[in-house]
Amino acid sequence: MFAYQILLLLFMANGAPIILCRLLGGRYDWPVDFGLVWYDGHPILGPSKTWRGIAGAVLFSAATTYSLGLGAYLGWVAGLLAMVGDLTSSFIKRRLGIASSGMALGLDQIPEALLPLLWLKSQLGISYSMVFWLSCAFLVLELGISRILFWLHIRKQPY
């Protein structure tokens, strides 16, 4: 698997919830945290983290790796790990008092790229330096692509 294919996989996993939100609006957007509030008075994750988004990330990722001839399992796990990273960063952001969909540079990008990359390292035999550079590339590219998606009215926030 080449670096650009790994980046494609990461973008499919992390872009699926945004695309599904745009296509489906409010349909099937059940929050992962069921709207519950943590002891600090803030939502556990927030309303933008949905079961639909997680399912979409897993399915889009599985379809990506399957179409690349790598089987669906590799993408299924990578998509799930990307969402675990995304949910983790949302949990931390809520504890820091950052509103849902609020920007936290690095925290919004690194966990959702790093977790699947560390797993892919063992599956594909990529080096730690490749994991580092792909994480950096994902961060930079995600910021640029996010602005384009905002400009196209696909994304609600321009970060």
Domain locations in the chain? 3-151
pTM for this prediction = 0.94
pLDDT in tens, 42-81: 999 999 999 999 999 999 999 999 999 999 999 999 999 9
Give the integer Cα–Cα distance in Å for 31 and 4.
Answer: 32
User: Which pLDDT value is given to residue 103?
Assistant: 87
Average per-residue pLDDT in the chain? 95
- Is 36 exposed, middle or buried, given 0-12, 13-18 or 19+ CB atoms closer than 10 A? exposed
| Residue 158 confidence class, pLDDT cut points 50, 70, 90 | confident
Helical residues (DSSP H) of the chain, grouped into ranges: 3-24, 51-67, 72-95, 110-124, 128-151
Give the integer Cα–Cα distance in Å for 68 and 158.
Answer: 30
